[in-house]
Structure 1
Amino acid sequence: MTRRRPLSVLVRAGVMGAAAALVLAGPAAADPNNVNPIPGINGEPRGLPPLPGETQAVYQVTGMDSPNRTEKVNVLGTDLGVMWDDGAGTMLTAFGDSAGLGVPNLLAGSVWAWTSNVIFYSHTKYPAQGIVFDGATPNPLPSPKIPGIEISLIPTAGIAVGGVQYMSMMSVKEWGDHGKWTTNFSTLASSGDGGRTWAQLPTTRRANVGGHERFQQNAFVKDDGYVYRYGTPAGRGNPGFVSRVREAEIANIDAYEYWDGRGWKVNDPLAAVPIVEGVAELSVQWNDHLRKFVMLTTDPHNSVVLRTADSPQGPWSTPRVLLEAAALPTAYAPMIFPYQTGSDLYFLLTVHRQYNVLLMRTPL
């Protein structure tokens, strides 16, 4: 793994002290700052969780127990794992809030040093034996981490268009309870060098009003010359919406069309109607095996569910449960592996209790 920001011996020695301080802290709140990613002392069993049914955990992707050893770039714990191909055969994976060592984020009551995003690179095309990272760019889009102003800037979707990488980011103003939070806006960020450096695109910002509140968290999929952008309000247990834009116009917010249930309305986010209900973080992909689009999310019970559709706007099927909430109670954000893998579907899944990401496999 390319070590763009290796941990020093001195900083590494602080792991146990930071973890011990967190263990002595009060009960975890809803925000991601109150976590313990240190295996062996965070109360979670070591190794992959045994799960009932056909959906299984096959690889630890991040953290100190991962073969990727992401702590080498100061990512002891993280979440999400938005994956896409850069158009030239490299898979980019964007993770969200990441716990590391250094100056603690005391404003949020955390003993960890927090970054809001990190990019890892991989050339794994078939993940049956895991996803191997061979490089990383920590914290490419820093956030001030100030509660009430911007506590985080988190990637929720990524896509390559015309040799340029785009991420959809949500600016989180403050965390709430029970899977709810408040955003300032969502925005696109772009990279012209394969994801090594990034810049926000201010003209693409969607403030949390005027219909744009429906697109604070996003998922992307391409079809027939369009980029389809799925959206939900901030948090979980919300309706989902869809818009689209010609690929070349992805950064032109006025060029987007919104699905109103019968057709597409240009530049009118208030016309968008729900295409699904009760969803959280979304991931959408065309699947060659099923010959359908597939959507992964968690439902209001926190079970991982799959829907299918013949067209990007739907209608979407009733949800099929892949993993009951009781089997992995703190799991969230199922993100689909971007390459076709036959009759199996691979996806990343975050486990909040250990605050790291697992690779999952389910038969279709």
Structure 2
Amino acid sequence: MTRSLSALARTGALAAILALAVAAPAGADPNNVIPIPALNGIHGLPELPGPTKAVYQVTGMDSPNRTQSVNVLGTDLGIMWDDGNGRMITAFGDSAGIGVPNLLAGSIWAWTSNVLFRSSTHDPAAGIVFDDVVPNPLPSPKIPGIEISLIPTAGISVGGVQYMSMMSVREWGDHGKWHTNFSTLASSGDGGSTWTQLTHTRRANVDGHENFQQNAFLKAGGYVYRYGTPAGRNNPGFVSRAKESDIANIDAYEYWDGKEWKPTDAKTAAPIVGGVAELSVMWNEYLGQYVMLTTDPANSVVLRTAPAPEGPWSEPRVLIDARSLPTAYAPMIFPYQTGRDLYFLVTQHTQYNVLLMRTPL
């Protein structure tokens, strides 16, 4: 990768962080994590029963990508999309590094709310190799009660412009719950190197927009489909759409009410699925169906299929049982067709890093 991290030991910061990390309590929010293998006790890929397998450590100190060299010791999510020129952008969320700890937020780590990696990998069978990094493209003040984080939940390329959907987190709640100020689009006209929040696209957490605080994008038939859930996990899922040219026009969206598309009013949206968390949706050529990945109320990673973007969506099929990988979340689909095998990323909170998984369809 093109950016490197200065030696940590010369400041003594690493020793101090390690000492604090040993005593850090487990918690529901991302501040309470230990991404260092020597301390979290996790080495190597998890051995899973059944057909789904872990094939590659994407981030962290045990990853061939050596993301610690750009001060990403731990991170989550991994939302992938093609940039329109055959290159893949992957957006990660809250990322732990070495530096001035965010004590105001109760963290021993130097946190950034988002980080992007770019890759030329189209065949993930041997892993996903990162070419370069865009660190902290959309900073957050990280002040509890105001904005503790600004996290990507979806990404897409439309007309040569990159778009991310971001959620502004006001504060962390109980396990699997948090409180948002709004969701918003951010855009980049230079392939993801620099980003700007599109404040006119903000969806405050009211008036039906509370159901679109976390998103997934899908392009189909000239439309951008924007799936949504309330903030947190174990929620209903909804879907809206706009013509590709209107992706940044909040008034141009239609909402699926269970029978037809209704214009403008987000309150008309009806749930298309229930008991879901972070979503990822894509057309799958092998199945000839749309596929959706998420986690269920038991925290198992599950797959659904549908003949159309709005559904009807099938009953969930378990890909990773929560008993096998109990802290897994945020399954994100690899954006290129890979035949009978489906590849996706999943975060393992115990090590606070991201794994590449493979499952046969």
> What TM-score does the superposition give when structure 1 sets the normalisation length?
0.98
Distance 1:293 1:166 in 2: 21
Question: One-letter code of the match for 1:38?
Answer: I
Match of 2:147 in 1: 150
* Aligned partner of 1:358 among 349, 355, 359: 355
**SS in structure 1 of the partner of residue 323 of structure 2:** helix
Distance 1:47 1:13, change over 3 A: farther
Distance 2:13 2:95 in 1: 17
Aligned ranges 1:23-102 → 2 under 5 Å: 23-25=22-24, 27-44=25-42, 46-102=43-99
Cα contact 2:293–2:332 (8 A) shared by 1: yes
Shift of 1:93: 0.1
Distance 2:32 2:294 in 1: 23
- Say whether residues 1:272 and 2:269 are aligned partners: yes
Aligned ranges 1:119-158 → 2 under 5 Å: 119-158=116-155
Structure 2 portions without partners, runs of 5+? none
* Aligned partner of 1:216 among 196, 213, 217: 213
Shift of 1:12: 7.8
Per-residue CA deviations over 1:101-128 (Å, capped at 9, x if unaligned) read 1110001111100000000000000100
Cα contact 1:19–1:36 (8 A) shared by 2: no
- Say whether residues 1:197 and 2:194 are aligned partners: yes
Cα contact 2:29–2:175 (8 A) shared by 1: no
Shift of 1:40: 1.6
Distance 1:347 1:19 in 2: 31
Question: One-letter code of the match for 2:17?
Answer: A
- Say whether residues 1:322 and 2:319 are aligned partners: yes
* Aligned partner of 1:174 among 161, 171, 181: 171
**SS in structure 2 of the partner of residue 327 of structure 1:** coil
* % identical equivalent positions: 75
Cα contact 1:83–1:93 (8 A) shared by 2: yes
Structure 1 portions without partners, runs of 5+? none
Distance 2:60 2:14 in 1: 13
Question: One-letter code of the match for 1:212?
Answer: H
Match of 1:7 in 2: 6
Shift of 1:10: 4.2
- Say whether residues 1:288 and 2:323 are aligned partners: no
Question: One-letter code of the match for 1:282?
Answer: L
Distance 1:142 1:251 in 2: 21
Cα contact 2:147–2:170 (8 A) shared by 1: yes
Distance 1:136 1:180, change over 3 A: same
Shift of 1:11: 6.3
Cα contact 1:258–1:268 (8 A) shared by 2: yes
Distance 2:26 2:104 in 1: 16
Question: One-letter code of the match for 2:2?
Answer: T
Distance 1:177 1:11 in 2: 38
- Say whether residues 1:116 and 2:119 are aligned partners: no
Distance 1:178 1:198 in 2: 31
- Say whether residues 1:19 and 2:38 are aligned partners: no
Shift of 1:141: 0.2
Shift of 1:82: 0.2
Shift of 1:202: 0.2
Match of 2:101 in 1: 104
Distance 1:335 1:13 in 2: 37
**SS in structure 2 of the partner of residue 165 of structure 1:** strand
* Aligned partner of 1:206 among 182, 191, 203: 203
Cα contact 1:12–1:101 (8 A) shared by 2: no
Distance 2:91 2:149 in 1: 14
Aligned ranges 1:325-344 → 2 under 5 Å: 325-344=322-341
**SS in structure 2 of the partner of residue 201 of structure 1:** strand
**SS in structure 1 of the partner of residue 84 of structure 2:** coil
**SS in structure 1 of the partner of residue 309 of structure 2:** coil
Distance 2:2 2:174 in 1: 37
Distance 2:147 2:101 in 1: 16
| Count of aligned pairs | 361
> What TM-score does the superposition give when structure 2 sets the normalisation length?
0.99
Question: One-letter code of the match for 1:158?
Answer: G
Per-residue CA deviations over 1:37-78 (Å, capped at 9, x if unaligned) read 00121132x000111000010000000110000011110000
Cα contact 1:11–1:102 (8 A) shared by 2: no
Cα contact 1:78–1:356 (8 A) shared by 2: yes
Cα contact 1:29–1:177 (8 A) shared by 2: no
Distance 1:8 1:258 in 2: 51
Distance 2:300 2:104 in 1: 33
Distance 1:91 1:307 in 2: 24
**SS in structure 2 of the partner of residue 121 of structure 1:** strand
